[in-house]
Amino acid sequence: MKQNHEILPLIEAMMQYDQRDVVPFDVPGHKHGRGTKELVDFFGEKVMRIDVNSMKCLDNIGNPVGVIKEAQQLMADAYDADHAFFLTNGTSSGVQAMIMSACQAGDKVILPRNAHKSAINALILGGITPVYVQPEMNTRLGIAMGVTVEKIKEAIALHPDAKAVFLINPTYYGAASALKDITQLCHKHDMAVLVDEAHGAHLHFHDELPMSAMEAGADMSAVSLHKTGGSLTQSSALLLKGDIIDKDRVKTILNLTTSTSASYLLMASLDGARKILATRGEKMLTDTLELSRSARAEINEIEGLYAFSTELIDAHGVYAFDETKLSINVTGIGLTGFEVYDILRDEYNIQMELGDINNVLAIISLGDTKEALCALVSALKDISVKYKKPEFDCQVKPLKNPEVVIIPRDAFYMQKKILPLADSVGEIAGEYIMAYPPGIPVLSPGERITKEIIDYIEVLKTQKSVLTDNHDPSGEFIKVLKHNNVSSIAI
């Protein structure tokens, strides 16, 4: 029987604490904002008064036994999970906890190479070996989609000793794999199924959206409620179902990296977002889908623009599609997605989620309005006339999986040297290079550098894309491994 999702245990406890007007001799040091007038003026007195630290009446995230435990149980119930853990360091911390809970040092995990950098970080932290599967590529749009059941089956056949399979549901652009079929396949081989649902926190609450990980029978998923569920930035939840993965091990792994001073503002926002999704989510998402579908139809009437959607569903990596991802291919108006992204922001005061070589992406969620979507459609119509050039045909295609020469952890700790990027073909990367958003590495430590990869990075640089995680922000130089350390650790 479903629990009562009208209640807000953590928020109510924080309200009661605030009403008591406690005299604070604990941290935080701003003392309910009295010591920081500028912050009170900016954030408001209420926020500063409820920015508190762990105390008995408010429970402790490291070992919750009170209101945090109750709020987490409600979160688990909302998603049809057995257990839920609040995350105040984003879904990145949840992804790391999933992989490190299912795998130990030396174990293998099967995953698509278009995974977020947090998955690669988990491999470094845990000493885990990646087995990459190639996601399906849409060459027209220039992006990676989902993975097929066949590709997972092939990887399992080649690596029957793998402990887990890691999936993305949905991809940044909205493509969902056949998650239920893959989960059943993995369980037949005693492999745990871990799902990055950073962009799928809303899926569970509407039947016209792709199936959620918990509904598909996955063992764990990490959901970014702050992205599509309404909570504050950096707040997420880790969901656990079944007994393949021990919940006490999950809690132990989380406590390795979670702050002992987790933000109560972020945790309270998870409590509130859960109530909204569980009690009003279906109606709100119906309205959200209607807005997205209407805008998509109008955009597809603009010559040169293509807002792709459910027509991509086929047997090749797109089993379902999340229509709240309003992805628009702009090559038909002769511009790159990077250019359209900048024009929308600088000239129309419209902030898109991302631009890539061929596309721009708008996330349509619970807080969007008809007026906002009308402004976007109007701006795109204007841009298609004012800026149109001959159709853009990028010669750089989506990258295929690079060769993993050294496992990420070993490569991370090995000695390195610095070379010009242009002279690094054949070398082994000693650091990440990626564009953010979306935070998917173009190169990770331990991977062979090819001319195709360098060409791709050069295109990112010419488009003034924000390169992150590499030591040289300009992308002119790269850290590579010293060759005399490589041969004995190759996999």
pLDDT digits (tens, 9 = 90+) for 146-200: 999 999 999 999 999 999 999 999 999 999 999 999 999 999 999 999 999 999 9
Q: Provide the pLDDT confidence category of residue 383 given band limits of 50, 70 and 90.
A: very high
pLDDT recorded at residue 491: 47
- What does the block give as tokens for 188? 């037949």
Residue after which a domain boundary falls, among 238, 256, 278:
278
pLDDT digits (tens, 9 = 90+) for 252-295: 999 998 898 999 999 999 999 999 999 999 999 999 999 999 99
Residue after which a domain boundary falls, among 278, 309, 324:
278
Share of the chain above pLDDT 70, in %: 96
- Domain span holding position 241: 9-103+161-278
Q: What is the pTM of this model?
A: 0.94
Mean confidence (pLDDT) of the chain: 93
Q: Provide the pLDDT confidence category of residue 457 given band limits of 50, 70 and 90.
A: confident
User: Does residue 232 fall inside a structural domain?
Assistant: yes
Q: Residue 484 pLDDT > 70, yes or no? A: no
Which of 95, 56, 61, 93 minimizes the C-alpha distance to 75? 61
User: Are residues 320 and 232 part of one domain?
Assistant: no
Q: Provide the pLDDT confidence category of residue 460 given band limits of 50, 70 and 90.
A: confident
Q: Provide the pLDDT confidence category of residue 142 given band limits of 50, 70 and 90.
A: confident
Q: Residue 65 pLDDT > 70, yes or no? A: yes
Mean pLDDT to the nearest integer, 389-397: 71
**3-class DSSP state of 202:** coil
pLDDT digits (tens, 9 = 90+) for 100-121: 999 999 999 999 988 999 999 9
> What are the residues whose beta carbons fall under 8 Å from the beta carbon of 481, sequence distance 6 or more?
406, 411, 414, 415, 416, 417, 427, 428, 429, 430, 446
The enclosing domain of 354 has a CATH number of 3.90.1150.150
pLDDT digits (tens, 9 = 90+) for 228-260: 999 999 999 999 999 999 999 999 999 998 898
Is the distance from CB of 351 to CB of 361 less than 8 angstroms? Answer: no
Q: Residue 391 pLDDT > 80, yes or no? A: no
The enclosing domain of 177 has a CATH number of 3.40.640.10
User: Are residues 201 and 85 part of one domain?
Assistant: yes
- Give the separation between CA 92 and CA 74, rounded to whole angstroms: 22
pLDDT recorded at residue 216: 98
CB atoms within 10 A of CB 1: 3
pLDDT recorded at residue 451: 92
- Report the number of distinct structural domains present in the chain: 3
User: Does residue 266 fall inside a structural domain?
Assistant: yes
User: Are residues 193 and 81 part of one domain?
Assistant: yes
Q: Which of 358-367, 425-434, 482-491 has the lowest mean pLDDT?
A: 482-491
User: Does residue 416 fall inside a structural domain?
Assistant: yes
User: Does residue 431 fall inside a structural domain?
Assistant: yes
The enclosing domain of 437 has a CATH number of 3.90.100.10
